[in-house]
Structure 1
Amino acid sequence: MLVETERLVITKLTIDMCEAFQRNSVDDENRRFVPDEVFETLEDARRTMEWLMKSYQCEKGPFLYPILLKDKTNIGYVQACAIEEGWELGYHIAKEYTGHGYATEAVRAFLPVIMKQLKTNIIYGIVLEENIASHKVLEKCNFKLDYIGMGKYQGVDRALRRYIFNS
């Protein structure tokens, strides 16, 4: 376990999470907002998970951690990825679990742990302009708006917002 909250456990990936990892990746919101993290088959998910698990040993990650309910239901993930400016926070909660504050709870718990691990006091949140729910999560977690405009998002020019968290 990496971190635990009142309702959630954030932990390392294990291969037995493959089915939930794949299922969560194909929901409509994930397809819309993080299309490069959609795994159509269990084999695609397994290959990616194996790579992600090896990345825990790398200095530059990415560092992706599943978010589980206390009953061990896998509801999404939180991650830190290296970007040109430093580190970017990412997260996804499966559609059937949105609207309960899980993303905010996970991000609040994850930030101090991952920032200490990465030895950084700055982390970015980059979200599509249309992803209002993610704006709210970042704002509730004390990220400050740094930029609104066009920018590269998964290799495509899109309207986005960049937030910054400084501990």
Structure 2
Amino acid sequence: MINIIETERLFLRPLTLEDADIAYYGWTGDAEVAEYVSWLPHHSIDDTIEWLKEIEWKQDDIGNILPNDNYIWGFVLKETEQLFGSGGLIWEERWQHFQIGYNIMRTHWNHGYTTEAMQAILSFAAANLGIKRIAGSHAKENLASAKVLEKLGFVYERDGIVSHVDGVRHFDNREYFLELSR
């Protein structure tokens, strides 16, 4: 399938409902993973199942990718075949561009996996989805995410404020853009 991507150390594949347990216990239910993002940690496996339904890939009968407002992959370590995170492209209304997003288990932080996965996803976006410009942002305090964006070649454009999905909290962020080439 065209939506499976292989890198040096990873397989990137669409997530399925069968991934609910590992996703919930690995990263979607982890408050520390969700510290700097606009979504709330999942409170139950049911939250994760609903999220997996929302991000399901849409394809026609012969496997062609249909336009969607998100393209999310599960990150699988080749060496162990362990699913340890997810990331991809999410349509951002305020910018009228796709934005990258990613979350991985804390046990896999600081190994370069997110940068490796997102490099492959950006190449896919340019070659298969025709995306020419993409956004990225991070909470100012999230220095690890800043490093990922910088390694990917994103260029800082401005500071901003992001509202948390709970509608109560807000956090200062830094906004970046990247011009993609085929």
Shared fold, TM over 0.5: yes
Between structures 1 and 2, the one with greater helix share:
1
The answer to whether structure 1 residue 50 and structure 2 residue 53 are counterparts is yes
TM-score (normalizing by structure 2): 0.82
Amino acid at match of 1:62: N
Aligned with 1:119 (options 119, 130, 140): 130
The alignment partner of 1:47 has SS state of helix
Q: Distance in 2 between matches of 1:159 and 1:114?
A: 28
Q: CA shift at 1:6, angstroms?
A: 1.2
Aligned AA (1:132) = L
| Residue in structure 2 matched with residue 10 of structure 1 by the alignment | 12
Q: Deviations over 1:117-146 (max 9, x none)?
A: 332210000111111000000000111111
* Greater shift in the superposed pair: 115-124 or 147-156: 147-156
Gaps of 5+ in 1: none
Alpha-carbon distance between aligned partners in 2 of 1:103 and 1:15, rounded to the nearest angstrom = 22
Q: How many percent identity over aligned positions?
A: 27
Q: Deviations over 1:93-140 (max 9, x none)?
A: 211110111111111111010233332210000111111000000000
Q: 2:115 aligns with which of 90, 104, 113?
A: 104
| Residue in structure 2 matching 1:83, options 92, 112, 115 | 92
Q: Based on CA coordinates, which of the two structures has the bigger radius of gyration?
A: 2
CA contact (8 A) 2:38 2:164 kept: no
Deviation, 1:33, is: 1.8
More moved, 147-156 vs 93-102: 147-156
Equivalent residues, number: 166
Q: Which runs of 5+ in 2 are unaligned?
A: 60-65
Supply the distance in 2 between the matched residues of 1:13 and 1:37 (Cα, whole angstroms): 19
Which is worse superposed, 35-44 or 88-97?
Answer: 35-44
